[in-house]
Structure 1
């Protein structure tokens, strides 16, 4: 039998189409190993076999250990691997994306590089955050002004709903305990949203640093996507946790966000939102290509097939 080092990598034609795979599989508190062409997850309840070719992206939560052979198989079958906190609310590290296509990354870079289309995506993000809001023709200053008012209104509304006294948003970077329980909970909830957004962006092969609202930071796009769910999920959960008890606010908020995210299927929704924002008119799923295709760019705005030498008459 061939050893791991002697096995050849599977070609794109031998692998399961991404469209036919399970987008995300989340595992925690288990040991991952390899048995033939399956990943095994062993925990206190026994061993579960997972055909590696059916995995889009594997999310490894707390308490997971993975062997070298398991990682070798995952890489051979084109599966992505992301190390996360419970239910994906923290992002720690990532391997390859779940897709071999650069379609989303290219669409993101193209939209970001033009000031007009960059503003178009920013407007679309605000419409996702605040359904029914007419953003047509609004400048960035007007968008930021509306966003600021809506978020402040939501803080006051959630404080009134939960019976908390609210004196505004106060956060000192690096000093989590400086705020009151509500502010601590909001900070913890926001960190969870960042983890979910970065997990999604990494899995889709997008560029974390190319933001459409935020700018100048390696995680600008992560902050953009995380904000899509701030007023709907993060703020209400934070106030509910702070209203229940003033002790251990940070960890209780993270657990509450974890449960809410799992309940509403936020990871899947986040994936779909990113795709719609970057390629709203795509007829096929940009993250689930039928084949592994490499092309060459030309001066005429069209691409030609790679794998051959192109002379001048061929262009």
Structure 2
């Protein structure tokens, strides 16, 4: 996952399969893309995709996202490369245990605060400090590029109602959410089991994406808004991708997820056996565990 391309956006084209490569055909011709080099394939308006292409993407563990022109929404993904439940179980043990969850939340905030000691901070204190940090970051980038900034304001149901910088931030954050969602599912974690966020099917996506907004989506959005050729979709998405490459985000995100969830980057996780849960240890599946006849249970 660390070596994959974060995302590839396709619109007004036909996506098919040629052996182990995707073919993307439009009026300019046909491009071949090895499926295993992608983390996520974004399918925009006017796109058609064949069954053969979807089968290849599923086998390769590529997230497939159907998108609109005004942003990125995550609708579906293929089977992840990680075939083990180990990471999901480790995540669930943290989220369901109050002390472990607080420790993990503090670790997440510590990453944002450049290693400051937050070992005794409450969640309310952490949220307050994070709010002040974000307010400062927005102001710094507005001054850097010369874009007017008032406050973060947007309507999730009306993308066009925001001013240019707020539309750029919404688009940049949405792209970052797509990348985070692709990595989370590829490693076998659960997008809905958030540590800081909760209540939605993407709670953990917001947790992880928030770790990198100050480096990735916020500067990309302000740079795009300051561009004379501003486009709240294409320009922003391109700049987010450049930031992803510049900051080696895919590699960092994988390492950070394993660190936060206290799991290991196990190459054996791509090929594991089905087991049965037991009170003391897991036991083999695929075996008839019925008692021999004549023995009272």
Query: TM bucket by the smaller chain?
Result: 0.7 to 0.9
In structure 2, the CA distance between the partners of 1:112 and 1:41, relative to structure 1 (3 Å rule), is same
**Shift in alpha-carbon separation, 1:57–1:203, aligned structure 2, 3 A:** farther
Alpha-carbon deviation of 1:135?
Answer: 1.5
1:80 has 2:61 as partner: yes
Check conservation: 2:3, 2:251, Cα contact below 8 A.
no
Residue 17 of structure 2 is matched in structure 1 by 33
> How big is the shift at 1:199?
1.7
* Equivalent residues of 1:121, 1:277 under 8 A apart: yes
The whole-number CA distance in structure 1 between the counterparts of 2:18 and 2:233 is 37
Render the CA deviation track for 1:158-207: whole Å, top value 9, x for unaligned.
Answer: 12222233222222332333333222222221112211111222222221
Q: Deviations over 1:127-150 (max 9, x none)?
A: 222222211121111111111111
1:1-56 deviation per Cα after TM superposition (whole angstroms, max 9, x unaligned): xxxxxxxxxxxxxxxxxx9x965686656743244xx4464656767585x8xx38
Q: CA–CA distance in 1 between the matches of 2:254 and 2:73? A: 16
Q: Which ranges in structure 2 are unaligned for 5 or more consecutive residues?
A: 292-297
Residue 100 of structure 1 corresponds to: 83
How does the TM-score come out when normalised to structure 1?
0.75
Query: Using a 3 Å threshold, how does the CA distance of structure 1 residues 24 and 204 change in structure 2: closer, same or farther?
Result: farther
Secondary structure, in 3 states, of the residue corresponding to 1:33?
strand
Stretches of structure 1 that go unaligned for 5 or more consecutive residues are: 1-18
The CA RMSD measured in Å over matched residues stands at 3.3
Change (3 A) 1:46 1:290: closer
Q: Contact (CA 8 Å) 2:57, 2:78: kept in 1 or not?
A: no
Is the aligned partner of 1:216 residue 2:199?
yes
Q: Deviations over 1:41-74 (max 9, x none)?
A: 4656767585x8xx38663344776543454466
Counterpart CA distance in 1 for 2:24 and 2:233 is 31
**Which residue in 2 is equivalent to 1:68?**
51
1:133 and 2:116 are equivalent in the alignment: yes
Residue of structure 2 equivalent to 1:167: 150
Distance in 1 between the 2:39 and 2:48 partners? Answer: 13
Q: Distance in 2 between matches of 1:236 and 1:106?
A: 35
Structure 2 counterpart of 1:149: 132
* CA shift digits 1:75-117 (9 cap, x unpaired): 6xx431321479xx76442121111111111111111001111
Query: In structure 2, what is the equivalent of residue 13 of structure 1?
Result: none
Match of 2:174 among 191, 206, 213: 191
Q: State the partner residue of 2:294.
A: none
1:228 is paired with a residue whose SS is coil
Q: TM-score, with normalisation over the residues of structure 2?
A: 0.79
The structure with the largest helix share of the pair is: 1
Length, aligned pairs only: 281
Contact 2:39–2:182 (8 Å) recurs in 1: no
Q: Aligned residue for 2:282?
A: 303
Matches of 1:202 and 1:290, distance apart in 2:
13
